[in-house]
Amino acid sequence: MENQLDQPQVLVRRITMVVIALLFVIGIGIFGFQVLQVSDPYIQKVLSLNGDPVRGQAIFEINCADCHGMHADGKVGPSLQHISKHRSSNGLIEQVISGQTPPMPKFQPSPQEMADLLTYLEKL
């Protein structure tokens, strides 16, 4: 009888250890991805520049407004109002340049253009 009572406790301990190990691996993966993003030379260059929100708005209106709306309040694409509260600067840059969110096209602005666009997006 004593052996049967110990079995659920052993099972719970094993499950707990597996969950902790999975959370650890996921955390390391997220941290590693962020380190890679920060070490990306393009992202480093963009973040080292001072962006001009007026030029950024012009870039947005030419390249993004058809889907995100002229005031970035959403149309076909989602609203980008207050986007900097939900995404880091690195995340915003990666989102713009990656092309990994269809139907959003891959967009490769120069570092200065990206800095301008980023500054505009952060002011929304």
* Model confidence pLDDT, tens digit, residues 7-42: 777 778 888 888 888 887 777 766 665 555 557 899
| Predicted structure pTM score | 0.69
Sequence letter at residue 121: L
Asked if 97 contacts 107 with a C-beta cutoff of 8 angstroms, the reply is yes
Quick: pLDDT tens for 71-122.
999 988 899 999 999 999 998 998 999 888 888 888 889 999 999 999 999 9
List Cβ neighbours of 108 (8 Å cut-off, separation of 6 or more): 97
